[in-house]
Each structure stands twice: as C-alpha cells, then as structure tokens.
Amino acid sequence: MQAILRHLLRLTVLLAVCSFGVFGFAADTASPSRPNVIFILADDLGYGDIGCYGQKRIRTPNIDRLAEQGMRFTQAYAGSTVCAPSRCSLMTGKHTGHATVRGNRGSRPKEMALTAEEPTIAEVFKAAGYSTALIGKWGVGENDTTGAANRKGFDLFFGYQTQFAAHDYYPGFLWRNNERYLLPGNEDGKQVTYSHDVLMKEALAYVRENRNRPFFLYLAVTIPHANNEAHPNGMQVPTNAPYANEDWPEPEKNFAAMITRMDDGVGSLLSLLQELGIDDRTLVIFTSDNGPHSEGGHRSEFFQSSGGLRGQKRDMYEGGIRVPLIARWPGRIKAGTVSDQIVAFWDFLPTFADLTGQPPPKDIDGISILPALLENKPVPHPPLYWEFHERGFFRAVRAGNWKGVSLDPAKPLELYDLSRDPAETNNVAAVHPEVVKELEAILRRERTPSEIWPTSIDAGQ
C-alpha cells in the first residue's frame, strides 16, 4: 500500500510540474513573470528617424507612444553597421569579433549561415516552453543550410531567407517554412502585393492564434531598406501618403511614407494586444539593425536620420551603429523612462535567458540588462567591439565613454570621448596615448581569426 501511495504522490508531483512549469506558473499561458515577447527589428532605420528621438518631419505616433509608455534607450548599439552580421549578433549573443557571420558578402552559403552548434534566442525561448516565430527577414542561413530558421529554434518562419531577396518589396513569393508562399499579382515582375503588408498581416494572425500560450515573435520588417537593384527608384511603397503634397524629392516622400507605414503596423500590434487582453503580459521591443542608409534615391541627411551623430550605414562611427531602442511592458517597465544604459545586440540573448529562467550559453559576449530594463538600475558593461569587412577592414571599440575607431590597421587609432563629443568631431588620440594603448589591446583581445573572414592582421594574432 505504501509503495502505491508513493507512486501516486510522484505522479501528482509530475502532473503539477507539467501543468505549472518549474517556475510555478502555467506552462501554456504567458504570465507577469514570464511574458510574451515581441521583438520588432526595423531595417536601416536611423537613430534620428523617429519622433521620440528628435525627428520633426516623419510621423511616428505609435512608436512614440511605445516610448511614452515604456523605456527609451539613448546608448543602444546594433551588432554591426550592416544587416547580416548585426542579425547574427542579435541571435547568438556574440559580437562580430567572435560571430560566425561577420559581413554581408554572401557569395557562398557557408559565409552567411549560423552553425548547427551555436544556440539562438529562439532556442532559449523554446527551452522555456514558448511558441516561436520569425516573420520577415532572416539573413543568416538559407533553408538548405545549418542556419535555416526552422533549424535554429523557430516553429514558424515566414518571409525572406536572405537579405538580398528582401530588397524586393514585390517578390513573386515569400517562404512559409520550407514552402513557397505565392504573392498574388506579382507574377512576371508586376507590382500588386506589397510584402510588408503581408508580413504584418501574418504577424497579427500569429499573435491572435497564440494568445493563450507564451510566445516569442521576432518581427524583422524590411522597411525602410531600399530596393538597391532599383537604384534611384528604390524607395518602393504603394503610396507616398501622407507626404504626397510635401515639397520634397519623390524618394524622400517615399522614404517617409515607408516609415509611417511601419509605424501604422506597430499601432495595429499594440491595439491587438489590448483587444486580446494580453497587453500587460507582453514585452514589446523596437529597434533597428544598423544606421540609416543613403540608397534608392534617398539621402540620410535629408531628414537628419543619424540624429546628429557622425556617419551612417557602413560606418564605424556612432551614426552607423547606434540605434533607437524602446522597450514597453505595462506594469513592469516604468512609463516614460529614459535610460543611458549601454546595451548592444549581443546582450539580448542573455537578457531573455534571464527573463525566462534559462541558463545562458557560456560562449557569448553579452550580459543580461534585465535590472536596467525592469528596475532602471545601471549594469556595468564590458567593452564593446565591432568589425566590418566591406570596404577594407574597419573596427571600433567602446570602453566606458571612450570610443576607438580603426579604419586601417596600419594607421593610428582614432579616439573620441563620447561623454563630451557624441558626434565624434574631435580626435583626442594624441592627448590620451594611454587610453589608445588600452583600446588597441582590447581590439586584439576581442577578435578571433576566421577562415571565412580573413584579414591582414590575422598572422600577427
């Protein structure tokens, strides 16, 4: 009899764990302690392109409302100054000195694919019992590689496999997992169905379908990236409303219209969360993959897209890598907060591991910023590192308020004090040789040589 009772007790405990999870809440329902997470990643949106970061002419009322109801970061950094390595850094928690994907070349699949061994943010959420979806642009592994989205923790993948395919806003098809999803009217180069609208419709449907279980939605929209292959007509959008009557060049009207269209989508998501009654158990994060572009007929200086910072996409200066970042979680993140916490894309994996009670992978560069996010308590940040391979070999490092920029390994390091000179106008390397020496040591320490991304300095490391 006692053996039977012990067996029944074990079954009772097992059922309780299955029903309520190891953290004491229902495994199939999001809760205040384990929220849904929607991570919205804009494409080539500059630090100064939205209203709450100083934009005066482009209308972004819904993203601005995110900031009013949540936390706006002033020192947030992308993983790189172009998209594929930035997304790799976001997914894996590694900066570009250690990441698998360190550039946008993409001529050979292995250069652009995550490996089977490296865990992703999606796999962290899967381990915590979440449903996971990537809707939009992936860019770090086609379907026949180890980096395919469905092999890296995503239950649902809907969108573009590569960043090059994502240039086209009127493609003949998108991908739903491993199957082609035809877009009506876009056959033979016709332009009827706008891909961004399809992505947003899919995102809203996913949230509605998963409202009763915890979910992670990585919504990687392609706006406002240009269609580079269309050259001066690359700012593709169905209508330039509400800017049709502005005295601006056509590409600038279209650029602004793309951003406002993206903002409308953010508004639709926020409204749906309220409608479904899951607003207070959903963390929404909004950011961009790198600095603003000057492509497709658009010029970043027209709207001061870099927000007063130096540089743009493909630069190692702040304008190329500092990005807007907003986090909103009603009741948990204090509304209207402005944070100067230093945060980089590689911090999100350990932060989400912390949020969901999962152990982070050991071989990463990021740290959890959860105390800064939930309690506005600053978290000391290790030095930040970037490298870029498209126009030579560029590197940058930030340690505290010091920023070092190397545009040529054979030339002296540039040095800027971001606390006094965020626009990086005054190179003070000659005044602080001891700081230059420290930053150069960090540059050497933080880079692991890569056969896929060789450089002129590898022999000396």
Q: To the nearest 10°, the Cα dihedral for 24, 26, 29, 33? A: -10
Gyration radius of the chain over CA positions: 22
pLDDT at 424: 98
Any idea which residue has 């508004």 for tokens?
A: 267
According to DSSP, the β-strands at 325-328 and 71-73 are: antiparallel
Query: How buried is residue 49: exposed, middle or buried, by Cβ count under 10 Å (0-12/13-18/19+)?
Result: buried
Any idea which residue has 């995102």 for tokens?
A: 203
pLDDT at 240: 97
pLDDT at 460: 57
End-to-end CA distance of the chain: 69
- Choose among 396, 233, 260, 425: nearest CA to 321: 396
Retrieve residue 233's tokens: 């007509």
pLDDT at 108: 63
Q: Helix (H, G, I), strand (E, B), or coil: what is residue 433?
A: helix
C-beta atoms surrounding 185 within 10 Å: 11
pLDDT at 105: 75
pLDDT at 15: 34
Chain-centre distance of CA 266, in angstroms?
Answer: 15
Cα 134–Cα 150–Cα 163 angle in degrees, nearest 5 = 55
User: Which amino acid is located at 116 in the chain?
Assistant: A
C-beta atoms surrounding 334 within 10 Å: 14
C-alpha torsion sign, points 270, 71, 368, 104: positive
HSE of 96, CA atoms in CB hemisphere, 13 A: 31
pLDDT at 272: 98
What are the residue ranges spanned by the domains of the chain? 33-378, 392-460
The CATH-assigned architecture of domain 392-460 is 2-Layer Sandwich (3.30)
**What angle do the packed helices 250-276 and 61-68 form, to 10 degrees?**
50
Averaged pLDDT in 10-residue chunks for the chain of 461 residues? 38 33 43 88 98 98 98 98 97 97 74 92 97 98 95 98 95 98 96 98 98 98 96 97 98 98 98 98 98 98 98 98 98 98 98 96 96 96 96 95 97 98 98 98 96 81 52
Q: How far apart are CA 445 and CA 342, in angstroms?
A: 20
pLDDT at 156: 98
Tell me the CATH number for domain 33-378. Answer: 3.40.720.10
pLDDT at 459: 65
pLDDT at 28: 55
**Residue 216 contacts residue 125 (beta carbons within 8 Å):** yes
pLDDT at 456: 83
Q: How far apart are CA 416 and CA 90, in angstroms?
A: 26
